[in-house]
Amino acid sequence: MVTVTPYAYRDVEPADAPFLLEMLRLTVAWQLVPTADGLPPAVLVAPYAFDDLGRPGDGGVVVTYDGEPAGACWYRLNLTARGHEGTPVPELLLAVRPEHRAHGIGGKLLDRGIEHARAAGYPTIDLVVELENPARAMYQRRGFEPLGGAPDARDMRKLF
């Protein structure tokens, strides 16, 4: 017997911009309670994290559930962060809608997002995660290490 899952993965597209903005708000407000309609609370989002979605250096993966977006793992080339030989480093973002959490979706998205960035030719990828965020352990299990060697650093990097 073949088990069919209603989850499907695909590459991020420019048309995903409204959904990615919703996911970006979830990453910023991960510890806040959603509004009554289930949407993330209104939070300010830095323009660099969202402007010109689809520009060179952007990429990632969206997971859908029965055709509706359920989460995303995407990256943007951060022109201020520098990696090996002074090259810009992409910054990874990950979020899953609350009703789809605790099903292993975040880990699968992260694995696919990392592989997407590696296939795009990046030698490293960064992310920012609060110390109290439970996802921090997932990132560490997948090889992300605090920048500067400080175990309490919010900025983390994975070398490919």
When divided into structural domains, the chain yields a total of: 1
- Cβ atoms of 69 and 13 within 8 Å: the answer is no
Extract the tokens encoding 69.
Answer: 């977006």
Q: Is 62 among the domain residues?
A: yes
Instruction: Examine the pLDDT at 49 and tell me if it is beyond 80.
Output: no
Model confidence pLDDT, tens digit, residues 73-95: 999 887 666 666 677 889 999 99
pLDDT in tens, 109-119: 999 999 999 99
Burial of 110 (0-12, 13-18, 19+ CB in 10 A): buried
- Rounded to an integer, the average pLDDT of 129-145 is 91
Query: What pTM does this model have?
Result: 0.83
Average pLDDT, the chain: 83
**Which CATH number belongs to the domain containing residue 144 in this structure?**
3.40.630.30
Distances (CA, A) of 77 to 13, 73, 88, 120: 16, 14, 7, 11
